[in-house]
Chains A and B, each alone.
Chain A
């Protein structure tokens, strides 16, 4: 086995409590992302089992989703992943102004995504297509399950978008007050990683819900 060369020299200074371990911080973030994937993994599992049990109903259900809106949101999120990555590169190069601008674009894209989602859900709710209505109760049970999963999965994802956007706002604050800078940017990288996760999950949700018929 490898000898332990990961202990940095910071540890040996006598009473230095607030040492910095960038690799450790990133490791923590990656582990957290694992748990997020598993959280959605449970939903993907339920989705695949119910899809297997009710293929026709699921196909009917997915025909009623708006592929255009979904595709638009996919583009938006992928672009936002790019801008957050650009923001990190900018701060690494010491350009805080550009980094802030890129973050702002990312957050705007997040808001765009949410507004779009609002109209998408609103449209369905307008037609009484949500759990509890008479229309919903009259649906074949498989189709009902499809919509339940649609609301559940996109809803949980939406919460993640909101959380991610709030995190990015804080990142912006830290960049402007200088605590994130060209020699200390792990926090921004971690925020970016979270944002990529939000993006990545959507990239799975989109085909599962909108595209497979």
Chain B
């Protein structure tokens, strides 16, 4: 690119002290990085708690921790992974880093609000983690805070719930910001159907964030009020209805699982065409599928409650609706496969993670159909099958998409390149470890082992030992990947502005981009992904 403007990238502090320049920044790329580093820390804390659980489960009986400690472990692990990692996850980090670049804009619509979202996120995170240290110990309800136990237990539930409320607010503001950005700030010529698919995915996600989060917000407030005032909103002894709590909770929390997965699918839709050198197959189908998933996702919450006491017809309807969600998800998978067909596929790390995503998401999605079907779910509900299922979707799906995005946009953000060979090896280690960790959970769940216990019957030991060994391999893979990334940030070779030969606008500007992203706002004349 030729230009006459002064050429400093967005890392330039413009004479301010670094801490000040970062903590008061309104630049979407810097805010994205703030999210990136804080998310990574919380993710690692979550992994540590997971490792402790797996270690406890290496043999029946007590190995490492007491039963009550274990209850705290899985609750905090769940709260951290859900509210601090997967829900903000890809939108907060990679949405912030790339959305304005993808749209050809200089920033998001409300840069200051964007910074506020980050502060709310940190505030919520600190509150959530401090439940460990203050009061009567970490909450022991599971991340779902089911009433009436959550209003009766003496542990620090109120704080954790307030944390979730604040994090929800942060998520709402990010969604609001992205929606306005996408509506108002696309560059010249970028019609809706010339938008990159990641932007489409963020668009659908933002609507869910906006429309579902307030409902859980008010529900969690009700839990807090109920605990403080000793009133009976959900406690059956005082006239409340605990099943109503479950309804309200899942009215948000099921759409929330699409907050987790849709952005991941968006990332994959960017990577697959770039590394197959092919135009994406079924652009519009993928875009509409995002909206369809977001829409249908609102009507399936009941499938978490097949065993909680709902009428027969309600259960059957929820089961059928659940199967409907599989359709747009499958549309996407088939479109990705069709895109790769006859393409010249390049197995660079981002593509490997994308392929890993497709495989693991397939296992997660198909096991989802098993628990989505009423008859089988009655047997599998609250067993390790469910634990295996959601790790395949959330960790294998969203987690791997997160890593894919990291490896894909790394040269753009840092202006450098990580070591491709080592990144590839890290992928294989992580992928192998992942399956050793979670596949046995599916098996032991079918055998009948219930979730959320620190102990189990002796006949479940073999799969549990395999799974625990898998957790060590997974962790080794994660550490390997982190080392590769950190080395890349520090000593990586300088990357060109478009190392993967991508066609979307993010690749048409400098790496790292300048503060203003583009010297002149670009004009778009065709769809993205027109590879020849």
Cβ-defined partner of A35 (8 Å) among B105, B210, B241, B244: B210
Q: Could you tell me if B520 and A12 are in contact, using CB atoms closer than 8 angstroms? A: yes
Chain B 175-209 interface residues, beta-carbon cutoff 8 Å to A: 176-177, 179-180, 183-193
Question: In the complex the two chains form, is B172's CB within 8 Å of A35's CB?
Answer: yes
Taking CB atoms, residues of chain B closer than 8 Å to A125 are none
Complex CA gap A15/B239 in Å reads 62
Q: Within 8 Å of chain A (Cβ to Cβ): is B5?
A: yes
Residue from the list A11, A46, A53 in contact with B521, Cβ < 8 A = A11
Interface of A is mostly: helix
Given contacts A2-B191, A7-B185, contact A144 B214 (CB under 8 A): no
What residues on B are CB-neighbors of A49 within 8 Å?
Answer: 241, 244
A126 in the interface (beta carbon within 8 A): no
Please, which residue of chain A has its CB at the minimum distance from the CB of B219? A42
User: Do A145 and B233 have beta carbons less than 8 Å apart?
Assistant: yes
A17 adjacent to B239 (CB under 8 Å): no
Contact A28 B229 (CB under 8 A): no
Q: B79-87, B106-114, B417-425: which lies at the A interface?
A: B106-114
Task: Kindly state the separation between the CA atoms of A53 and B110 in the bound complex, as whole angstroms.
Answer: 44
B191 smallest CB distance to A (angstroms): 5
Determine whether A112 belongs to the interface, using a CB cutoff of 8 Å to chain B.
no
Instruction: Please count the residue pairs between chain A and chain B whose beta carbons lie under 8 angstroms apart in the complex.
Output: 120
Task: Note all chain B residues with C-beta closer than 8 A to A145.
Answer: 232-233, 239-240
Nearest Cβ on chain A to B111's Cβ, whole angstroms: 9
Given contacts A1-B191, A31-B176, whether A39 and B521 have CB atoms under 8 Å apart is no
Contacts of A53 in B (CB 8 A): 241
Nearest CB of B to A42, in Å: 4
Residues in B whose Cβ lies below 8 Å from that of A50: 241
One of A19-27, A80-88, A160-168 contacting the partner: A19-27
Residue B499 at the chain A interface, CB threshold 8 Å: no
Q: Given the interface contacts A4-B186, A6-B184, A27-B180, does A11 sit within 8 Å of B106 by beta carbon?
A: yes
Are B179 and A31 in contact (CB-based, < 8 A)? yes
Q: Is the CB of A11 within 8 A of B105?
A: yes
- Measured between beta carbons, the chain A residues less than 8 angstroms from B217 are 39, 42
A170 at the interface (CB under 8 A from B): no
Which B residue sits closest to A141, measured CB to CB?
Answer: B239
Q: How far is the CA of A28 from the CA of B173 in the complex (A)?
A: 9
Contact A31 B180, CB 8 Å, known A3-B191, A14-B519, A144-B232 = yes
| Residue pair A46, B233 in contact (C-beta under 8 Å) | yes
B218 on interface, CB distance cutoff 8 Å? yes
* A138 part of interface (Cβ distance < 8 Å): no
The distance in angstroms between the C-alpha atoms of A3 and B248, with both chains bound, is 40
B191 touching A34, Cβ below 8 Å:
no
A94 at interface by CB-CB < 8 Å: no
Q: Which residues of B contact A28 (CB under 8 A)?
A: 109-110, 113, 176-177, 180
**Contact partners of B110 in chain A: CB under 8 A:** 28
User: B230: CB under 8 A from chain A?
Assistant: yes
Q: Which residue of B lies closest to A57 (CB)?
A: B239
**Does A45 sit within 8 A of B, measured CB to CB?**
yes
* Interface assignment of B1: CB less than 8 Å from any CB of chain A: no
Say yes or no for B222: interface residue by CB 8 A criterion. yes
| B400 nearest CB across to chain A (Å) | 31
Chain B residues, CB < 8 A from A41: 214-215
State whether A46 and B248 are in contact (beta carbons under 8 Å apart), knowing that A27-B180, A145-B233 are contacts in the complex.
Answer: yes
Contact partner, B210, options A34, A45, A141, Cβ 8 Å: A34
The answer to whether A7 touches B213 (Cβ under 8 A) is: no
* Interface assignment of B469: CB less than 8 Å from any CB of chain A: no
Collect the chain B residues with CB atoms within 8 Å of residue A43's CB. 218
| 3 shortest interchain CB distances as A-B pairs | A141-B239, A42-B218, A38-B214
22 contacts between A and B (CB under 8 A): A7-B186, A11-B185, A15-B516, A21-B109, A24-B183, A24-B185, A27-B179, A32-B176, A35-B210, A35-B214, A38-B214, A38-B215, A39-B214, A42-B214, A46-B248, A49-B241, A54-B239, A131-B231, A142-B239, A144-B232, A145-B240, A148-B229
Binding site for A on B (CB under 8 A): 5, 105-107, 109-110, 113, 172, 176-177, 179-180, 183-193, 210-211, 213-215, 217-219, 222, 225, 229-233, 238-241, 244, 248, 516, 519-521
Extra 11 A-B pairs, beta carbons < 8 Å, given A3-B189, A27-B180: A4-B186, A4-B190, A7-B184, A7-B186, A12-B520, A24-B184, A31-B180, A35-B213, A46-B248, A131-B231, A141-B239
